[in-house]
Chain A
Amino acid sequence: MQKVAEPLTTTGALREFLHALPGVDEVGATARAAALSTRSIKNEAKAWAIDLAIRMVDLTTLEGMDTPAKVRAMCAKALRPDPTDPTVPSVAAVCVYGDMAAIARASVGAALHVAAVATAFPSGRASLEVKLHDVRDAVAAGADEIDMVIDRGAFLAGNYGLVNEQIVAVKAACGTAHLKVILETGELRTLDNVRRASWLAMMAGADFIKTSTGKVPVAATPPVAIVMLQAVRDYYALTGTRIGVKPAGGIRTSKDAIKYLVLIKETAGEAWLTPDLFRFGASTLLNDLLMQRQRMAIGHYSGPDYVTID
């Protein structure tokens, strides 16, 4: 992999770099992901992993029917996921639409991060001016993390320069807020594209790369996470900067979450096992983590009657 001397901005230069990245062994990545299901995790490690996974959750509500009360209720849950057990840690952040950012910030205070999706989420089909306004709006309302979507149409058409330019502009509009770049891997079709989009986003200034919006049928999958974790590892080797990874959508069980934790450790390294560099974008995962935690505490299986309905 060649050293990047200066920022690549033109479509031609980006294409030259991105298409020189080694191809992904799709069969190998799938087999590697499948092998995870056969692991047995011992109880002590599981308890540790569940608490870590809870601390990594971006508790999310991204529905057209979100109300201020629903956002406030979710924030209360984010701060104290299990009201019956004070030893349960808070989650990392709450993730809402931009217009709910102010309500979320007022609810969680400085205790948690507030992530807002912006840039015409989830399709990203709007002019750059509209997208930037969306970002500034969310930051002004108190969001300290911005989840932007890339222009998949431009990416698939090979217009890497445009995608790069938009990420750079959004990063500038974020100010001090962290920028998470959503690649929407379900629409990128191939793992080679996932690798290219990851590098493109990282070089353009992303603090985090995120798999999906959760709004298309194919969301986060372990093979995709493997490719993205390899990308952040290689980027760190090249530049000394650690970029975070956030799989989102489709992660519903503690077992899935623990698989991802194993992947992080074995692909990117233990340095990424922190909420600063890895997050789960999820709404239902937290309940399953709580049920598993309850099971370990009380010795029998818990059920959905013992956690909140979101």
Chain B
Amino acid sequence: MNDRVEVRKTYKLFIGGAFPRSESGRTYEVHDTDDKFLANAAKASRKDGRDAVLAARKGFGAWSSATAYNRGQVLYRVAEVMEGRRDQFIADVRAAEGLGDKKSARVVDTAIDRLVWYAGWADKYAQVLGNTNPVAGPYFNFSIPEPTGVVAAIAPQNSSLLGLVSVIAPIIVTGNVVIVVASTLRPIPAITLTEVVATSDVPSGVINVLTGDPAEIAPWLASHGDVNAIDLTGVTSAELAKNLEVEAAGTVKRIRRPAQPNWLATPDLGHLRSFVETKTVWHPLGA
């Protein structure tokens, strides 16, 4: 084994179901918590962000009109494939976050379970968030949640896999598409996740993953006219978060900026609810 040539890795972005290099050609080094070199990752530019928005918009039509049942199946399939690569994820998380074996396994298992949890909600959240409203007239009146559209998300910087999955799943399960900027210092679990996504029935453009510096890419996503919402979960600098909110307000985007949650705890529907629009319809009785 000693004379085997080392396989050095330079990972790429994940845009529209393909793995392109950054348009800028830049890469950066990724180290583990002991500062040992792990791999090179692509450093996305604003142009990559824009390409991702185009790819996401392209993917939105089919994904948002797929049946809820089908979306649930696809999410479950992602969990299945993750389960098959559990050992790789545990190694990635251990290297990225410096956790012990047991803790890493718990994080990976929770991430897989979280996908299953959200997959289950795919054909049920509408019954919870939607409603038949009482009205005093010969009409039905009902409210239905619909996906917001293209959502840009900044993934948590610390929880590189569980946090990432917890951000992506509630966004896409309702029919949104996502462009997520992975953790800058810990992108490897996100990159492994893209390899899972590419092989698990998720239509191209539904999940797009950029690696690099959120401070560089996020402002362009926040101001982009074709992005409908932005999730600032992973923005640690209050200054940057404020600027992004101001940029996002220019095109009246939905913004989510939660406090850093305990990722291991079971979530509620709050995250999912942040990226749906309620449509209310009046329908005459007997027509």
Contact = CB atoms under 8 A, between A and B. Distances in A.
Interface of A: 294, 299-306
B113 interface: no
Interface string B226-242: 11000000000000000
B100 interface: no
16 contacts: A299-B223, A300-B220, A300-B223, A300-B224, A300-B225, A300-B251, A301-B225, A301-B226, A302-B226, A303-B53, A303-B57, A303-B224, A303-B227, A304-B57, A305-B225, A306-B225
Contacts of B224: 300-301, 303
Contacts of B225: 294, 300-303, 305-306
A308 to B, nearest CB: 15
Interface residues of B, number: 12
A303 B252 CA distance: 13
Nearest to B149: A305
A303 B250 contact: no
A305 B227 CA distance: 10
Nearest to A291: B225
Given A300-B224, A300-B250, A301-B53, 12 more contacts: A299-B223, A300-B220, A300-B225, A301-B50, A301-B220, A301-B225, A303-B53, A303-B224, A303-B225, A303-B227, A304-B57, A305-B225
A304 B226 contact: yes
A306 B250 CA distance: 13
Which of A294, A300, A302, A306: most chain B Cβ within 10 A?
A300
Contacts of A299: 223
Nearest to B46: A301
Nearest to A302: B225
Contact of A303 (B220, B226, B247): B226
Contacts of A300: 220, 223-225, 247, 250-251
A302 B224 CA distance: 6
A214 B251 CA distance: 35
Interface in B109-153: none
Contacts of B226: 301-305
Interface string B206-232: 000000000000001001111100000
Contacts of A304: 57, 226
Which of B53, B220, B224, B247: most chain A Cβ within 10 A?
B224
Contacts of A302: 225-226
**Chain A to chain B: the 3 pairs with minimum beta-carbon distance, closest first:** A303-B226, A300-B223, A303-B225
Contacts of B227: 303
A132 B191 CA distance: 62
A306 B57 CA distance: 14
A301 B179 CA distance: 15
Nearest to A253: B54
A218 B103 CA distance: 56
Contacts of B57: 303-304
A254 to B, nearest CB: 13
Contacts of A306: 225
Interface in B237-260: 247, 250-251
A306 B267 CA distance: 36
A306 B220 CA distance: 17
A61 B282 CA distance: 37
Nearest to B50: A301
Which of A300, A301, A304, A305: most chain B Cβ within 10 A?
A301
A149 B224 CA distance: 42
A299 B225 CA distance: 11
Contacts of B250: 300
Nearest to A306: B225
B93 to A, nearest CB: 34
A304 B251 CA distance: 13
Contacts of B247: 300
Which of B57, B225, B250, B251: most chain A Cβ within 10 A?
B225
Nearest to A307: B225
A301 B226 CA distance: 8
A235 B247 CA distance: 54
Interface string B35-59: 0000000000000001001000100
A128 to B, nearest CB: 44
Contacts of A294: 225
Interface string B69-103: 00000000000000000000000000000000000
A302 B247 CA distance: 13
